[in-house]
Amino acid sequence: GRTARGVSGMRLDDGDLVIGMAVVSPEDKTVQILTVTQKGYGKRTLLDEYRVQGRGGSGVITMKITDKNGPVVAVRQVQDEDDLIIASDRGKVIRTRVSEISEVGRVAQGVRLISMDEGETVGAVAKIVEKDEDHEAKNPANPTENSAKPIENKGEGSGETK
């Protein structure tokens, strides 16, 4: 009903945070989980390394966290042929192939993915999705569906749309 509170999907300890999630097919043996830390370290781990958790489970350790690599800031479902863009909070950006990132077990620390200056942290991690030109030629996208929409300025000022 309307007043129901739902069920507990996962049990978190004090200080734990959910960083991300991915819907995966256990039958697809090419799926890997990419884990990236605040200080620019990362690794790929085969999906088989993660055991299935039931409702209310407490999860599994995905990476050994140290002062050297920092806390986990991003997880992505990837495959060998994917490319990634990793950006720092100070504007440093790199593009790398997923296949160039070490594939290691769940509890490893990872390898350096992006060099960081003192105090600099990873700000964003994005998987690059290549456009399939044949698919687009046969099925053109609805331009209003994929176009940026103007945002109305509701505050004080000129009242113009930006």
Predicted confidence (pLDDT) per residue in 106-159, tens digit: 778 788 999 989 999 999 999 987 765 554 555 555 444 444 444 444 444 444
Predicted confidence (pLDDT) per residue in 90-121, tens digit: 999 999 999 998 888 777 878 899 998 999 99
- Residue recorded with tokens 């690059």: 128
3-state secondary structure of 118: coil
Residue type, 159: G
Answer whether 75's CB lies under 8 Å from 20's CB. yes
Q: Which two tokens stand for residue 117?
A: 């200056």
DSSP state of 39: T
Predicted confidence (pLDDT) per residue in 40-68, tens digit: 999 998 888 877 777 777 777 788 888 99
Left, alpha or beta for 97 (phi > 0: left; psi -120 to 50: alpha)? beta
Q: Which two tokens stand for residue 72?
A: 């986990």
Q: Which two tokens stand for residue 77?
A: 């479902």
Q: Which two tokens stand for residue 27?
A: 């039958």
Q: Which of 145, 121, 99, 138 is nearest to 41 (CA)?
A: 121
Distances (CA, A) of 93 to 26, 34, 115: 32, 18, 10
